[in-house]
A = this chain, B = another copy of it.
Amino acid sequence: MNKPSPNLTIKDIAKLSGVSKSTVSRVINHDPMVKESTRNKVMAIVEQYQFTPSKSARAMRGYGNKVIGIIVTRLDSISENHAVRNMLPVFYANGYDPIIIESQFSPQKVEEHLTMLKEKQADGVVIFAFTGLNSSRLTFWQDKCVVIARPFSEYTCICYDDVGAVNKALTYLYQKHKKIGYIGITKQDQTTGELRYQAYTNFCHTHKLKPNAVLGKLSYYSGYELAESVLVDSPTAIICATDSIALGLNKFLSEKNINNIVVISIGSSELLKFLFTKTITVDLGFDKAGTYAANELLQILQSGSKPKIITVPSQILI
């Protein structure tokens, strides 16, 4: 119970600069109603002693903590990682302390984390949505949060261009290929599963292609295991709903020495491109999503801008 370093308070600064607490407070809060001279006087002391106001104290006064909660599904999700890595600098630059938490796809954990953030007087939240997450849990944060990967109405959302990405892949392939397979994930997952699969079947329908799709889990194991079933129809090209699936498929193809099949992956990870150079990838723009999310949140917090849905443009990399 020792006072580790006699950290100065606003009161000390007041004494040292010969003014009152209130004036110091005004200075550090950029109140325009302070005389130039006194401001300088105080600022000098502040800088000299490296004074920073106690976060906990100002949090208690309802001022907010300059804290942003970032709720990811899993720490080791490559896509979310990319997004997060791109928001951090933005938050830091604006003096916010981002705190990262894992939801592990559990709505209940989300709830716990959210109340924790509320207690801590966090100023805002970025949350990566997942199947099963209900927007009703977010009502408290409605006007200070950004949702990623799901278009919740009344919220500011950053969405990926699932449909567009699949279409870009198909349009590219359709020039030379008429037998195009698809390895996806089950329709339980609304975006990565259902949306991308629908885009595939729709395209097949309007272009009179015979669909050849298998759906499984989101993992490279799944891609590997499902490879055989797609190949039955002897496609000349295969679209993978995610890059992990593409990894699995590529492993299978390489093991069987199959070289004449074009592989396209929705989602463009470094590792995939490194290991299987021939794979064509569609970049969903995870990095950009992070930047967008951070900037939007800051705007919401500062100027209270209206909810809107931003779709990050996808880009095919040939």
Q: Which residues of A contact B (CB under 8 A)?
A: 1, 4-5, 52, 54-57, 59-60, 62, 65, 75-76, 78, 81-82, 84-85, 88, 97-102, 115-116, 119-121, 140, 220-221, 224, 247-248, 251, 254, 271, 274-275
Q: How many copies does the complex hold?
A: 2
Min CB–CB distance A90 → chain B (angstroms): 13
Task: Find out whether the CB atom of A254 lies under 8 angstroms from the CB atom of B254.
Answer: yes
A120 to B98, CA, bound (A): 13
| Secondary structure of the A contact surface, majority rule | helix
From B4, B5, B76, B88, A78 is in contact (CB under 8 Å) with: B76
Residue contact B85 to A75, C-beta cutoff 8 Å = yes
Residues of B within 8 A of A84 (CB): 75
- Contact between A274 and B220, CB atoms less than 8 A apart: yes
Known: A52-B119, A76-B85. A274 touches B60 (CB 8 A): no
A120 to B1, CA, bound (A): 16
Which residues does chain B contribute within 8 Å of A98, judged by CB atoms? 101
Known: A59-B56, A60-B56, A140-B5. A271 touches B220 (CB 8 A): yes
13 CB contacts below 8 A, A to B, read A4-B140, A56-B56, A56-B60, A56-B119, A75-B85, A76-B78, A76-B82, A98-B101, A99-B101, A224-B274, A247-B275, A248-B274, A251-B275
Docked CA distance A20–B209 (Å): 76
Q: Is the CB of A221 within 8 A of B78?
A: no
Asked if A274 and B251 sit within 8 Å, CB to CB, the answer is yes
Across the interface, name the chain B residue whose C-beta is closest to A143.
B4
Bound-complex Cα distance A220 to B85 (A): 20
5 closest pairs, A vs B, by CB?
A: A56-B59, A99-B99, A100-B100, A56-B60, A76-B81
A101 CA / B57 CA spacing, docked (Å): 22
- By a CB distance below 8 angstroms, the chain B residues around A254 are 254
A75 with B81, Cβ < 8 A, contacts A119-B55, A251-B274 known:
yes
